A and B are shown apart, each in its own frame.
Chain A
Amino acid sequence: EAGVAQSPRYKIIEKRQSVAFWCNPISGHATLYWYQQILGQGPKLLIQFQNNGVVDDSQLPKDRFSAERLKGVDSTLKIQPAKLEDSAVYLCASSSSGAADTQYFGPGTRLTVL
């Protein structure tokens, strides 16, 4: 079974530029998550999708971050414009459904904002 795929793995941009990350979840997983992991901290949920609908985006900085999951499969997370404090690893995860289901994580995209 293929895991969660993410690209790119690394990205370096200057502040005020825009950037986009892509995620392809495990086949058949209805729920998709985006997390932000700042160095030295645990992952923090940014947004959760159930199929192509948003379940929770309470911690997404909506003035600069946006995400979509068209057709309920892969997803894109965008930052525009980026700030220095956005430097982090962005992790995508997926699960079948339900609070008890295991979340499977991708390898992440390491973003550096200069």
Chain B
Amino acid sequence: AQSVTQLDSQVPVFEEAPVELRCNYSSSVSVYLFWYVQYPNQGLQLLLKYLSGSTLVKGINGFEAEFNKSQTSFHLRKPSVHISDTAEYFCAVRGLSGSARQLTFGSGTQLTVLP
């Protein structure tokens, strides 16, 4: 079985400040890692994904994430946030084999950008 823990359920931050949303995972097999964003009353949209190679992954809207295998973490960062970044962010993991191949989501982090 695999699981995802998003350590912060809510993160308030002022506009133009940096932000980090934390994600830790556990899995018995190798994994792919994803960050999705969900705006109110909308479906999920992919921000970025880690499949292999460089551990620093750049995504849309200026977000990036770093895969740390030893710490089983995949934290999401943005150096300067905008009001429009206010949304729910979900970290997800997908194993490469067997029953772990289904996409497993964390419980989400609500990012609120304050003026």
The chain A residues found within 8 Å of chain B, CB to CB, are 4, 33, 40-45, 48, 56, 58, 91, 93, 99-100, 102-108
Contact = CB atoms under 8 A, between A and B. Distances in A.
Interface string B72-115: 00000000000000000010101110010111111110000000
B17 interface: no
Contacts of A45: 102-104
A91 B90 CA distance: 14
A41 B101 CA distance: 20
Contacts, number: 52
Interface of A is mostly: loop
B53 interface: no
A32 B32 CA distance: 19
25 contacts: A4-B43, A40-B108, A42-B90, A42-B92, A42-B105, A42-B107, A42-B108, A44-B105, A45-B104, A48-B102, A56-B101, A99-B94, A99-B95, A99-B101, A100-B32, A100-B51, A102-B49, A103-B103, A105-B36, A105-B43, A105-B44, A106-B43, A107-B43, A108-B42, A108-B43
